[in-house]
Amino acid sequence: MIKWFVEKLLLLQLLIFPALGFCDPIFSTGNKHSVTVIGTGYVGLVLGACLADLGQVVTCCDVDKEKIQMLSKGMIPIYENGLLEIVQKNLANGRLHFSTNVDTSILNSNVIFITVGTPEGKNGEANLCFIGKVAETIGKNLNDKKTIFVKSTVPMGTIRWIKEVIDENNSKQTPYNLGYAPEFLREGSSVEDFMHPDRIVIGADNDETANIFANLMQPLIDAGAPLCTTSIASAEMIKYASNSFLSIKISFINEIADFCEQIGANVDEVAYAIGLDKRIGKAFLKPGPGYGGSCFPKDTNAFLKAAEKYGIDLKTVNAAVQTNSTRALKIVQNLENRFGSLKGLKIAIWGLSFKEETDDVRESAALKLIDLLQKRGAILHCYDPIANANALKVFPTLFTYNRPQDAVQYADALILATPWKEFLEVNFIDIYKRMNTKFIYDTRNFLDEKYLRRIGFEVESLGKK
């Protein structure tokens, strides 16, 4: 009788919930876990919301009370395409929860993800203090066998160290699993990246850990995502090697751009043609003001530091870092070549986030430009579709505007620093009329240069004479 009742209840749930838009067809009761995500930032929030969307019951925890309050009301603290809808949907269907009570959440779950930040420390090494604190908290709250996955980006040997910290605090010696599942999402398209990953990596030292992870990711694996099951050491290497390789590609094309300028070649033509070679690929072959964001700069530095400890000199990664560190200065020097002193020059900057489609300004090349230009006495008027507020946290006295055309009023130069699509839609005839000197520095080779020249603009870009 009870079995019949449970079956009917399940059937009812499966019929009614999808009709209400509460459930995905991939939802499978066989895969259900109670998941805690510790650290509800860019990575943790996307992970938690997407896992809930795949059918798990998830609690995202954070020490930031304001953030958790906001999320509990169905608002998200970051700008990320498609994320708000997934958060609201899974809050409504009861699969997604938010909490500041990390201890209770750990006690009530069987799977735990660690997604706290690992920012750059003073000497370039990864700062592991947040992750150490979380490992301590997990150790103290191990009331039964749980599986812990680290998603934060960490240097080689960190998972072993996390295990030591958990063990020191696990007074009852409760057994647990620990794996490393590096995250590869790109801000701006992180929901899409989570749902359709190029690959999923799990570093584990036993089958049970790897299987639990595969079980969580089953809908994505069924949809074709390749699963790479590796040792923990390999997974630690994969994450840093991936980010470093992409950084090398960016620095490489930036150096080629410099060379192109000298010989009268066009870097866009060069990048397109070399990118058609399948062995090279066209991604990350776009010249620019240097890579930024919360990952590449800190991860390449941490990789170099980690290698140093093992007596390895990563010359190519080091070269990429060195090249990158000169990019913003080169742009400012080009401006000085054009205008002489920049003191008192009114410069408009379009785009403040480190890339388009995100509000994240961490290590943004635009902010590096702002810093260098301010130090030279330039007067800056900035516009970003989303990131003005975050930029103001770094430079509180910056003039920011809500429309791109307002930032260029009477400007002597316009610098395009971040390639937001909306800049392609701007009425440049109107921009031309508003500017004092009709000079555009397109540091992303993004705008239609020929068209701008036809209007009468003087245009500077990268890798072209």
Tell me the pairing of strands 346-350 and 458-460.
Answer: unpaired
Q: Check if the beta carbon of residue 138 is closer than 8 Å to that of residue 102.
A: no
Residue 44 makes contact with ligand NAD by CB under 6 A: yes
DSSP letters spanning 13-27: HHHHHHHTT---TT-
- Sole binder of ligand NAD in the list 49, 58, 102, 216 (CB under 6 A): 102
Q: What is the largest CA-CA distance in the chain?
A: 87
Any contact of residue 294 with ligand NAD (CB under 6 A)? yes
Q: What is the Cα–Cα distance from 243 to 108, expressed in whole angstroms?
A: 35
Identify the residue among 23, 35, 37, 38 touching ligand NAD (CB under 6 A): 38
- Is 152 a residue that touches ligand NAD (CB under 6 A)? yes
Q: Which of the stretches 8-16, 183-191, 256-264, 348-356 binds ligand NAD when contact is defined by CB under 6 A?
A: 183-191
Catalytic annotation on 61? no
**CA angle at residue 96 from 191 to 84, to 5 degrees?**
40
Contact (CB, 8 A) for 364 and 443: no
Asked if 82 contacts 191 with a C-beta cutoff of 8 angstroms, the reply is yes
Q: How far is CA 281 from the centre of its chain?
A: 21
In whole angstroms, how close is the CB of 131 to ligand NAD at the nearest point? 8
Q: Exactly one of 53, 125, 183, 359 binds ligand NAD (CB under 6 A); which one?
A: 183
Query: Which three-class secondary structure state does DSSP give residue 149?
Result: strand
As a whole number of angstroms, the distance between CA 122 and CA 442 comes to: 33
The DSSP output letter for 434 is H
The owner of tokens 């410069």 is: 347
Determine if 350 is a binding residue for ligand NAD (CB under 6 A): no
200 to 239, contacts with ligand NAD by CB under 6 A?
none
The correct pick among 53, 80, 187, 357 for binding ligand NAD (CB under 6 A) is 187
β 200-204/227-230 pair status:
parallel
Options 51, 61, 135, 204; binder of ligand NAD; rule CB under 6 A: 61
Q: Between 113 and 142, how does the x/- string for binding to ligand NAD read (CB under 6 A)?
A: --xxxx-----------x--xx--------
Q: Applying CB under 6 A, which part among 2-10, 56-64, 345-353, 457-465 lies near ligand NAD?
A: 56-64
Cα distance between residue 368 and residue 370, in whole Å: 5
**Catalytic choice (23, 61, 295, 382):** 295
Nearer to ligand NAD, 40 or 443 (CB): 40
Q: Verify binding: residue 153, ligand NAD, rule CB under 6 A.
A: yes
Active site residues: 295
Question: Where do contacts with ligand NAD occur on this chain (CB under 6 A)?
Answer: 38-44, 61-64, 67, 102, 115-118, 130, 133-134, 152-153, 183, 185, 187, 294-295
